[in-house]
Structure formats: structure tokens, C-alpha cells
Amino acid sequence: MPKPNPRHPNYPIPGGDVLRAKGWRQEALLRLLENVLSVGEDPDNLIVYAALGKAARNWAAHRAIVKALTDMDEDQTLVIQSGKPVGLLKTHAKAPLVIMANCNIVGQWAKAEVFYELQRKGLICWGGLTAGAWQYIGSQGVIQGTYEIFMRIAEKRFDGSLAGRFILTAGLGGMGGAQPLAGRMAGAAILCVDIDPARAAARKAVGYLEHVASDLDTALAMIDEAVKAKRATSIGLVGNAAEIYPEIARRGIVPDIVTDQTSAHDLVYGYVPKGMNLDQVKGLRDDGQGQLMAASRASIVEHVSAMLEFQERGSEVFDNGNLIRTQAREGGVANAFDIPIFTEAYLRPLFARAIGPFRWMALSGEESDIARIDDLVMDMFPDNKIVTNWIRLARENVPFEGLPARIAWLGHGERTELALAVNKLVASGEIKGPIAFSRDHLDAGAMAHPNIMTERMKDGSDAIADWPLLDAMLLCSSMADLVVVHSGGGGYAGYMTSCGVTLVADGTEAATERLSHALTNDTSLGVIRYADAGYDESFDEIEEKQIGYVRIGNT
């Protein structure tokens, strides 16, 4: 039975053992589509997260997708073009059930203004990364990533602990909403600024954010008190980051860590310029795009200038993947890229081993299925400290949103082993229903994003988008259930290409084959991508795990 959804009552959380589709694979994808809306930011407009990331092009397309998933046989493939189903074709039972291409615009045309025009004509939509691929699981999807960044900074700068440390950030939206909980789990006192009171209230309601302060003075006093007591806490503040950051700097306060996760990538549908309220911004989205873009960029200039000032005074400042430095540089902040990107600064050695955000969703809707897999992970990987520490913390601290789900940073071999073990538990009935696996698009072989994922690669291959395309073809050849190629939309147009994949462990022998090939090949390509760029960790991984890398040279 579906479960009620207090945040969005019209979008119940899927679950139960009654199938509407002809098999569990199809039913799984249908439930994942329902799930991204149940945990999304604005489901009535099909918007899931990241300002404009949509689950489907429009409601007619959505209805057609639901009908196709419900009616289709296992030997058919549903073809989706930017959120609109365009073909239901006969393939074979080992082929993907769904393939998608989302928002891929030819190079010279891949610009925000062209995207908005194509969107206005109803020809395209942006799928975010995980929205259009029906893989989004709410703020919990990035929570370990955000936590690991904070812990890497703790190791690098603060003797391994963030107790008594002040993190300043902004953005309490779909992904940014993970920050207060990740900061608190890392032991810090974190202040999160958001212009929209409804977003702060939503994070508080689900337990990701502890308090919402009435004004800046109160917020800073609460942070000060927690820092002195070395007590972890999360404080929300309703305000514009382009005003609050400079004001904190003006008062001479130097946070230990500063970042930002507003939707700065999109100057029209994401970032809210200083001096405007949300209604004014909405009013300008159709007819005042130029004005809005200029105003957003001017505010981002002030926002990033304050971040640079904090950096100069000693804060650890980083870009958390929202293109804010790029927007600021285009607005004239020549040194915006003095701020490092989180991938290069803290996580690249993990990506070089294809360790990244891997996730699983209990299609039964039962939390006990996730609890059983938590135990399994602890048993299977006792020596993997990142993962065991995370599972312990997540069990205690991370409330479920939508379908019960878990994310953990696992690498090559580990993902396959876990998925196969889970498939056996599904087969034996120890787990109540099938489990879907996916991973973030921000994964070793899956993303080309020269200002985020692949910035300053060792060999200068930052902008080469062959890797995600190869990944997608490899995953189709490896029998994955859903494969997607996404490129950036809105402000991300022209900035990125990524590949996503979903697999369903339904307890069958066929699932064993799919999981084994697809998950192993996906991370193999990730390791190969980094080996090709010259990372030593990747060569170690290739040796240790016998990955089929083709070396060219004098060997």
C-alpha cells in the first residue's frame, strides 16, 4: 500500500506488494518515478530539485510514461527524449527497459537563453541529474557527500574534529537541505541562509534542520553559544546570502568553513537577487529574463566577493558544485577561481578508485528492508571505515524521505558484491520487496563537468564528454534496466554531460546477470577514466582488482 506523504499529500509514497505493471522491473521504475515527485520540491510543476530539474516534460508526457511503464512487456524498451516518451519498441528481455536522452543541445547552441527558448516552446526540459532519471531520493541523496567533505576539511585543517567550529552556508533546497544535517553530524555549528521561509520550514519539519532563527543577531548568538560549548547544532536563517555574507564579513566574524548551495547555476529560475522577493522574481521569469539575469549576477558578485574575503581572512572556502564561481567570474570577479571546487580539493583520490555515492531504495516501502541491508553492509565491509562509520551515523541521524533509501560511498567490486548479496536476500524473502540500485551522476566515469567534477584533471581532459557517453553505451551493453545521458539545462546548459543508471534486484537469476555486468563495468570505466588521466590510485586499483584496462605504450 502507498503511504501518506505529509509534505505533499497528493503524492503518496509508493510501496506494498501489489503490482500495477506486468513485472517487478517495470513496477520498480514506475515507483521510482512516483518517488521523485513525492520527495520533490514542487511536484505540481514536476520540479524535483536544482531549480528546474524535472521528472517529465509536462503532465501529458508524465501520463504517457506511466501508461507505457504499466503496459509494457519485458522485451520492450521505452525511449524518452527530454522527459517525453517517444517510442515503445520491441527489443529483448536483456535490453534496458528505459533509455533516455535529456537536454543534450548541440555545442554552439548549448546556452541558457537557447535552453529557455526551447523550454518555452515545449521542446525540451532539464532533468537535473537524478530528477529526469527518476533516481532522486531527497536531501538524503547528497548527505554523505556533504558529510565527507566536512570531514576531509576537519582532517586537513582542524585535527580531525569540527567540534567548536562554525560553518557558514546558504541554500536549503532539495540538495542544499542536506547541509544542516551533514554539518551537525560532522560535529559543527552550521548556519544555513535561505531566502525562502518555506524551504527552511520544510527542512525543519523533516528533522534536517534544528532551529530557524528570527534574525541575524539571534542566529549569530546561537552559533557563538554552540561554538563555545563545542556543541553541534544547525541554525536556519531566512535572508539573502548576497546580503548576509557581506554583513557577517563586515562585522569581522570569520567562520571556519564557508560554502554555498543556492541554485546559483540558474540566474532566472534559481538564484534570487538581493532586494527582490520571490513573487517579484517569479513575475520576471517570463518577460524580464535579461533584467533578472543581470540582477542575479550582480548579487552573486557580492556573494562571492564576501566568500573571497572570508578566504583571505583564513576560512576554508569551497564551491560545492553550483557554478557560483563561474557566474561571479562572468560578472567580473577575476579571482573567483581562487575558491577551489570540492571535488578536486577533497574527493578526487576517492573518485580515482571509482568510490562514489551509490544508493539503494526499498521498493516495498518498508524501512526494515533498509535496516537489513545496513546490517549486511556492516558485515560485508568491516574494514571500510568510511562506510561503516557512515552507516552507523546514518542509522541514528538520517530520517527517511519517500521510499526508504540509503546512500553509501562504495567503489569498484564493493557495489557489485553488495547488490548480488541483496538480490539473494530478495530471492529468499528475507527482504520484503525488490531493491533498486542507482548512483549519483557525479561518479567517476559518469560525468564531464569542467567547473565541477572534472576541474583541473591531471591531463587537462576536463571538457571531454566521451566518458559519460561511453559509460551509457557500456551500461546498455551490460543489461542495465534504465540508462540515461543528461546534459546541463538552464544555467548549466553547455557546462556538463553525465550518465545515469538504475538496476533492479528482484531476486531473479536475470537480475544477478544484470547487476554483475552493469555495476562492475560502470566502476571499471570509472577507474579507467582516471587511469587514463594519470592518477596513481587508479593504476593501483587496476592492478589489485584486475580491471581490463588497455595500456598503450612501450609495454
Per the annotation, binding residues for NAD(+) are 174-176, 194, 199, 240-241, 261-265, 271-272, 490
Piece of the chain touching ligand NAD by CB under 6 A; list 261-269, 363-371, 523-531, 535-543: 261-269
Instruction: Determine contact, residues 533/525, Cβ cutoff 8 Å.
Output: no
Write out the H or E segment, with its range, that includes residue 197: helix 197-205
If one asks whether residue 525 binds ligand NAD (CB under 6 A), the answer comes out as no
If one asks whether residue 191 binds ligand NAD (CB under 6 A), the answer comes out as no
For residue 271, the minimal CB distance to ligand NAD (Å) is 4
If one asks whether residue 195 binds ligand NAD (CB under 6 A), the answer comes out as yes
If one asks whether residue 434 binds ligand NAD (CB under 6 A), the answer comes out as no
If one asks whether residue 455 binds ligand NAD (CB under 6 A), the answer comes out as no
Instruction: Determine contact, residues 484/133, Cβ cutoff 8 Å.
Output: yes
Helix 536-545 vs helix 509-532: angle between axes, to the nearest 10 degrees? 140
One-character DSSP codes across 314-337: T-EE-B-SS-HHHHHHHTT-TTGG
**Parallel, antiparallel, or unpaired: how do β-strands 497-505 and 435-439 relate?**
antiparallel
Q: Which is nearer to ligand NAD, 249 or 505 (CB)?
A: 249
For residue 539, the minimal CB distance to ligand NAD (Å) is 26
| E strands in 140-230 | 166-170, 189-194, 211-213
Nearest-angstrom CA–CA distance, 179 and 234:
9
For residue 105, the minimal CB distance to ligand NAD (Å) is 17
Which single residue is written with the C-alpha cell 571546487?
A: 341
The residue from 76, 322, 454, 523 that contacts ligand NAD (CB under 6 A) is 322
Q: Which is nearer to ligand NAD, 57 or 199 (CB)?
A: 199
Nearest-angstrom CA–CA distance, 261 and 122:
28
Picking from 191, 172, 175, the residue whose alpha carbon sits closest to that of residue 407 is 175
Instruction: Determine contact, residues 441/479, Cβ cutoff 8 Å.
Output: no
Q: Which is nearer to ligand NAD, 196 or 540 (CB)?
A: 196
The residue from 241, 352, 394, 480 that contacts ligand NAD (CB under 6 A) is 241
Site string for ligand NAD, 74-113 (x = CB under 6 A): ----------------------------------------
Nearest-angstrom CA–CA distance, 319 and 299:
16
Q: Which is nearer to ligand NAD, 117 or 196 (CB)?
A: 196
The residue from 43, 96, 173, 507 that contacts ligand NAD (CB under 6 A) is 173
Q: Which is nearer to ligand NAD, 116 or 271 (CB)?
A: 271
User: Which residue ranges are tagged as binding site?
Assistant: 174-176, 194, 199, 240-241, 261-265, 271-272, 490
> How far from chain centre, in Å, is Cα 423?
25
Our CA angle for 536, 541, 544, nearest 5°, is 125
Piece of the chain touching ligand NAD by CB under 6 A; list 224-232, 240-248, 368-376, 392-400: 240-248
If one asks whether residue 193 binds ligand NAD (CB under 6 A), the answer comes out as yes
- Distance (Å) of CA 474 to CA 3, 384, 420, 515: 36, 28, 20, 13
The residue from 263, 423, 451, 478 that contacts ligand NAD (CB under 6 A) is 263
Picking from 452, 240, 442, the residue whose alpha carbon sits closest to that of residue 326 is 452
Site string for ligand NAD, 117-146 (x = CB under 6 A): -------------------------x--x-
Picking from 166, 196, 527, 182, the residue whose alpha carbon sits closest to that of residue 342 is 182
Nearest-angstrom CA–CA distance, 522 and 415:
10
The residue from 68, 125, 170, 352 that contacts ligand NAD (CB under 6 A) is 170
Closest CB to ligand NAD: residue number? 173
Nearest-angstrom CA–CA distance, 407 and 409:
7
The residue from 196, 344, 374, 462 that contacts ligand NAD (CB under 6 A) is 196
If one asks whether residue 449 binds ligand NAD (CB under 6 A), the answer comes out as no
Q: Which is nearer to ligand NAD, 50 or 503 (CB)?
A: 50
Q: Which is nearer to ligand NAD, 244 or 418 (CB)?
A: 244
One-character DSSP codes across 524-545: HHHHHHHHHTT-HHHHHHHHHH
Piece of the chain touching ligand NAD by CB under 6 A; list 19-27, 65-73, 318-326, 329-337: 318-326
If one asks whether residue 489 binds ligand NAD (CB under 6 A), the answer comes out as no
**Parallel, antiparallel, or unpaired: how do β-strands 76-81 and 47-49 relate?**
unpaired
Q: Which is nearer to ligand NAD, 28 or 237 (CB)?
A: 237
Site for ligand NAD in 44-63 (CB under 6 A): 49-51
Nearest-angstrom CA–CA distance, 441 and 175:
14
Please give the backbone phi and psi of residue 536, each rounded to the nearest 5 degrees, phi first.
Answer: -60, -40
The residue from 27, 34, 41, 532 that contacts ligand NAD (CB under 6 A) is 41
Piece of the chain touching ligand NAD by CB under 6 A; list 62-70, 188-196, 221-229, 346-354: 188-196
DSSP 3-state helix, strand, coil percentages of the chain (rounded to 5)?
45, 15, 40
If one asks whether residue 326 binds ligand NAD (CB under 6 A), the answer comes out as no
If one asks whether residue 304 binds ligand NAD (CB under 6 A), the answer comes out as no
Q: Which is nearer to ligand NAD, 24 or 271 (CB)?
A: 271
For residue 307, the minimal CB distance to ligand NAD (Å) is 13
CB atoms within 10 A of CB 272: 22
- In the three-class reduction of DSSP (H, G, I as helix; E, B as strand; rest coil), residue 504 is classed as strand
> How far from chain centre, in Å, is Cα 471?
18
Nearest-angstrom CA–CA distance, 522 and 447:
12
Piece of the chain touching ligand NAD by CB under 6 A; list 159-167, 195-203, 417-425, 459-467: 195-203
The residue from 321, 404, 468, 526 that contacts ligand NAD (CB under 6 A) is 321
Joined grid coordinates for residue 312:
583571505
Left, alpha or beta for 128 (phi > 0: left; psi -120 to 50: alpha)? left
Which positions lie near ligand NAD, rule CB under 6 A?
A: 41, 49-51, 142, 145, 170-176, 193-196, 199, 240-242, 261-265, 270-272, 320-322, 442
